[in-house]
Amino acid sequence: MTTLTAHNETTGAPFYRLTAADRCDSCGAQAYIAAEVNGSELLFCAHHGRKYEEKLRAVATSWHDETARLNDEA
């Protein structure tokens, strides 16, 4: 597991920074979307990220979406 992280850092492979330890602020599921709003980061699972995306994108200063990983891992 640790070698995978080091590998990504050295090769510049697709950068995924959310881990299983990052949980959705709404339901506690694993987070795949991170939005920065007013200097604080909000984390959402794919379901709630999509649900709140329209509202959040209007106010978020950054939008980080890793939901593509869900397809990769399927």
List residues binding Zn ion (CB under 5 A): 24, 26-27, 29, 45, 48
Nearer to Zn ion, 16 or 23 (CB): 23
Query: In whole angstroms, what is the distance from residue 56 CA to residue 52 CA?
Result: 6
Query: In whole angstroms, what is the distance from residue 2 CA to residue 38 CA?
Result: 33
Nearer to Zn ion, 6 or 20 (CB): 20
Nearer to Zn ion, 4 or 21 (CB): 21
CA angle 62, 60, 25 (to 5 degrees): 95
Min. distance of Cβ 24 from Zn ion in angstroms?
Answer: 3
